[in-house]
Amino acid sequence: NAGVTQTPKFQVLKTGQSMTLQCAQDMNHEYMSWYRQDPGMGLRLIHYSVGAGITDQGEVPNGYNVSRSTTEDFPLRLLSAAPSQTSVYFCASSYNGQGLGEQYFGPGTRLTVT
């Protein structure tokens, strides 16, 4: 298994540009989520999904869209990038939302918005 993969690893955007951060897992996990990590802020949940076709907002959803058309993929879209979205983005998955369900994290995407 490849686990949780994220692309790209690094990205630089200009303010106002849009892009999609890709996340995929091959473990047949139902539960997937996106976090952003900023210095001194820990990880904050952006959006999550408990299964294909179901998404919900986390703590900091503004400026981001998600969809979950398949179990494997959970892309994160930035509609109009802003410097405040400069961060490291982590995707995570787990077998289901309840129980222990260890979350497996991808390696992260480092995004800079100028």
Residues at the site binding other proteins, with contacts judged by CB under 8 A = 4, 31, 33, 35, 40-45, 48, 58-59, 90, 92, 97-103, 105-108
Nearer to other proteins, 14 or 42 (CB): 42
Nearer to other proteins, 12 or 56 (CB): 56
Q: Rounded CA gap, 110 and 66, in Å?
A: 18
**Would you give the distance in Å from CA 67 to the centre of its chain?**
11
Nearer to other proteins, 27 or 43 (CB): 43
Nearer to other proteins, 81 or 92 (CB): 92
> CB of residue 81 vs other proteins: minimum separation in angstroms?
22
**Would you give the distance in Å from CA 29 to the centre of its chain?**
15
41, two tokens: 């802020």
- Of residues 60, 110, 58, the one with CA closest to residue 86: 110
> CB of residue 13 vs other proteins: minimum separation in angstroms?
21
> CB of residue 18 vs other proteins: minimum separation in angstroms?
25
Written as one string, the DSSP assignment of 42-72 is: EEEEEEEEEETTEEEE-SS-TTEEE--SSSS
> CB of residue 62 vs other proteins: minimum separation in angstroms?
16
